[in-house]
Structure 1
């Protein structure tokens, strides 16, 4: 019993690993039992000739797969974040499916048929009960994953009335209120909440509250989750809500989870600005301070002139900027990388992925090898022609690796967030002619380091969240590179949207 309680309180990675196979395994008993039900119906109607041994075999594997599914389902439930009432019903219904599937198999088996009293009488009720419980468990499984109204949300009339469901108008999906004048827009209701509804509420709602967190109402948003509040009014970049969005997408704590639709840079900018301005739920844009940093993101939301301090920044009817041209390095035809070199890189734990099979370009990621060092970085020079995207975030590399990275003449994207790079290392990267994206989030870079970036004429985006840079240093960088998009700064307020 103590071991059981310990497993519930502290589920191991192994438990959660196998638990995540539940959605896959659960389809096996569904398929077996539906086939069994159809075949039995056909046999009783005289349309199908089927031996008892064949039906018994189908029911046996139905029972086995249902039992395995129950075990994996229990392990999955240890991850929390599910409605307890629905989860309990789903669990017992799943157990019922497994139990009655075993009963149906036993009374149909040649081995046990004659040993069980009233076996023939038990067979049909057991099979019917199994199928009924299967449908009920499937319904509640969908409710756990997608919400309690997943199956009924789009039920048309007259079936809604017959089922006692509320009118369709009361079950419509969330629709953001259009913004005609951004200055008069309610910041939470018309800007923040639509972002949350489309990116966060799917997993944080009344029916499904991952981490005991709901984000569907202001009251629940203020309450936070199992780890406490998710935002600190006035401190956007110090708020867990923003920190999770800025983590690498492969990080298990990144939000939204990998595979879900991610927040855009504009959306992160708006959420950060809202928190920095006090996280008000009842103020308009005109009531808050709007600086040049958030102006592009606000301008993309609707018409009207945005008032920033004592200036009015006209955006209504403005001609959208032309899309940035495709980097020339992405269209270059390159020789195939030496397979032996690729294999040597993979042995260090690096992921070496084809970025373009036609042009033989490669992406290298250290997401699975946080211990990657400056010494190992020297291997990258062996594929300097093919390497276009490089992700070294959260590794042990520092200034010593920059000499090797400087040899990657075709590099277009470089992730160095949360590494030990300093201004001295950054100065070694000035000879990368195609570098367009540079992520320095969480590093010790200062304004002095930013001056070395002015020579990177192709640079389009640089991330500076939680660095030692200042507003003045970023302004000087923007002056030298007017088309540069700078995301973040010392206070997280200097953000230019795409």
Structure 2
């Protein structure tokens, strides 16, 4: 429930302090709900069962109900200054919230042992005031849910036959993106690909009834209009378009979208949005009318009813074959070794509880260094994904990493790793993914990578490698995907890298 949010028609941009306190509204707003309902239940019990509930107790509960309702109103007002709420619902919610606070104070005053006797005919108004306050509480809760989640929040999952009995329209598919497309080449790019992605991940907060940052994503016209800060699309330039940039920010960033805790876009979804924008963000063209790069073909094929021709080439639908190391049964990890890594600040997360694969991440341990890396080989069989990006590690750590014989993914972005350290990676039989973004690696280091036979993807953005060096590596390993910047596929992959700092690097 959300209690009281005022209109902010022509008000200036709110201060950070206003928004700071406004965000406490969802916390405070639950207090009057509990207090007022408890007061009502105690009064009902006292009247129907003639229980001896202390009048002072109910008075105290009503007092805190009135105080918390008033605070919720104030914080609600501050929260409303951020804008993005449907006006009619906001107005109704506002007055209902005010009513809850007013009638709570009235009920408290009448019930008070000193103030009550001074109010003429007070006892006649006590139960009506308490009852009206509770009714307004429920109504304000409904409108608050509508503001936050949409007008159909309470009814969207109503099953049949109750939908028909209540006159509720048939329920739309919640995940349009999951609908397979029979012929991907003839699919309308916006209507059948882009809009379903936006509907499943974004439109919940950017629609006619709730438009956070004054942004709506429910129609081409609104998408073109942009937000209160301007356009969100730069046709032909996805890496300059806010629609994509906010998805690439670290999930902890306040500007990351969708917000932390919400279902995030998948790699394929980000890649498809990026491809659409790079192709000019058209709203009236089919897939066959746009340039379909090799990188985007698998994502498009996954939308079809099965494998098929995309861009004139047959591509299998669905995810790439799974790495064998992700399916093999490994021995259980030593709990003491896990605890040692945790004490160093690393996150140790199971990829599969049944098969004992582990992901080790230094996302919260930026000071992790070469000395601490000596503990990694104690889990040499279980560590499959290792994320050491933006830490203090150098080439010495790679000597320890070389002992992780089942390693499949390795993040070394923004570290002190150089060409010399890459020699240690040659004997990792399952290594498929290597992120060297922002390191001092040069063309000489690329020659070392040629010996990693199963390597499939390497990121070399903002390193010292040259086009000539990349060409040589590509010649030695034709199947290797080499990403030098925010291309279509690298955008999708960088969103998964803990320390990818896309905005900073642009």
Question: Which of 246, 250, 253 is the equivalent residue of 1:251?
Answer: 253
- Alignment match of 2:65 (pick from 50, 62, 67): 62
Match of 1:103 among 103, 106, 120: 106
What residue number does 2:244 align with?
242
Question: Equivalents in 2 of 1:475, 1:141: separation in Å?
Answer: 60
Q: Which stretch shifts more, 432-441 or 102-111?
A: 432-441
Cα distance in 2 between the residues matched to 1:83 and 1:418? 44
1:129 aligns with 2:126: no
CA contact (8 A) 1:451 1:477 kept: no
Assess, with a 3 A threshold, how the Cα gap between structure 1 residues 404 and 160 changes in structure 2: closer, same or farther: closer
> For structure 1, which segment, 192-201 or 218-227, has the greater mean C-alpha deviation from structure 2 after superposition?
218-227
> 1:119, CA displacement in angstroms?
2.3
- Residues 401/276 of structure 1: CA separation in 2 closer, same or farther (3 Å cut): same
User: Partner residue of 2:497?
Assistant: none
- Check 1:64–1:463 CA distance in 2 against 1; reply closer, same or farther (3 A cut): farther
1:415 aligns with 2:411: yes
Report what 2:449 is aligned to: 453
Secondary structure at 1:41's aligned position in 2?
Answer: helix
- Equivalent in the alignment of 2:214: 212
Equivalent-residue separation in structure 2 for 1:53 and 1:491 (angstroms): 66
What corresponds to 1:266 in structure 2?
Answer: 268
- Cα distance in 2 for partners of 1:445, 1:215 equals 42
SS in structure 1 of the partner of residue 378 of structure 2: coil
Residue 380 of structure 1 is matched in structure 2 by 373
**Worse-superposed segment, 203-212 or 214-223:** 203-212
Q: 1:427 to 1:171 in 2, by over 3 A?
A: same
- Structure 2 CA distance for aligned equivalents of residues 469 and 270 of structure 1: 29
Q: Which of the numbers 455, 472, 480 marks the counterpart of 2:477?
A: 480
Shift of 1:286: 0.9
**1:324 aligns to what?**
323
Q: Please, what TM-score do these two structures have when normalized by structure 2?
A: 0.77
Residues 1:158 and 1:304: Cα distance change in structure 2 (over 3 Å): closer
The yes-or-no answer on 1:227 pairing with 2:229 is yes
CA contact (8 A) 1:201 1:214 kept: yes
Structure 2 residue 173 is matched with structure 1 residue 168: no
Q: How many residues align?
A: 475
* Segment drifting more, 377-386 vs 262-271: 377-386
Q: In structure 2, which of residues 288, 292, 295 is the aligned counterpart of residue 293 of structure 1? A: 295
Partner-residue secondary structure (3-state), 1:216: coil
Determine the C-alpha separation between the residues in 1 that align with 2:176 and 2:342: 50
8 Å CA contact 1:187–1:282 kept in 2: the answer is yes
Say if 1:82 and 1:420 are closer, same or farther in 2 by CA, change over 3 A: farther
Of residues 396, 401, 404, the one that matches 2:394 is 401
Runs of at least 5 residues in structure 1 that lack an aligned partner in the other structure: none
The match for 1:113 among 101, 113, 116 is 116
Aligned counterparts of 1:28 and 1:39: Cα–Cα separation in 2? 17
Distance 2:250 2:119 in 1: 59
Question: Take 2:475 and 2:87, find their aligned partners in 1: how far apart are those partners?
Answer: 52
Contact 1:450-1:473 within 8 A present in 2 as well: yes
- Which residue of the other structure, out of 2, 9, 14, is the alignment partner of 1:9? 14
Structure 1 Cα separation of the partners of residues 56 and 141 of structure 2: 28
Candidates 30, 35, 55, aligned match of 2:33? 30
Q: Deviations over 1:255-293 (max 9, x none)?
A: 222222122221122111111111111111111111221
Match of 2:498 in 1: none
Contact 1:337 1:360 in 2 (8 A): no
Paired residue secondary structure (1:194) = helix
Q: Contact (CA 8 Å) 2:248, 2:491: kept in 1 or not?
A: no
Q: Tell me if structure 2 keeps the 8 A contact 1:341–1:383.
A: no
Instruction: State whether residues 99 and 133 of structure 2, in contact with CA within 8 Å, keep that contact through their aligned partners in structure 1.
Output: yes
Q: Is the 8 A contact 2:337 2:378 kept in 1?
A: no
Offset from partner CA, 1:388-415 (integer Å, 9 cap, x none): 344444x365xx6242244133355433
Asked if 2 retains the 8 angstrom alpha-carbon contact of 1:427 and 1:452, the reply is yes
Q: 1:259 to 1:154 in 2, by over 3 A?
A: closer
C-alpha contact 1:329 1:412 (8 A) present in aligned 2: no
| Whole-Å separation in 1 of the counterparts to 2:370 and 2:452 | 22
Q: Whole-Å Cα distance in 2 between the matches of residues 423 and 83 of structure 1?
A: 57
Contact map agreement 1:352 1:362 (CA 8 A) in 2: no
Q: CA RMSD in A?
A: 4.3
Q: Distance in 2 between matches of 1:396 and 1:6?
A: 44
Checking the alignment, whether the CA contact within 8 Å between 1:440 and 1:463 is kept in structure 2 is yes
Residues 89 and 140 in structure 1, CA contact (< 8 A), matched pair in contact too: yes
Measure, in 2, the Cα distance between the counterparts of 1:58 and 1:212: 39
Cα separation, 1, equivalents of 2:319 and 2:54:
71
Q: 1:340 to 1:40 in 2, by over 3 A?
A: closer
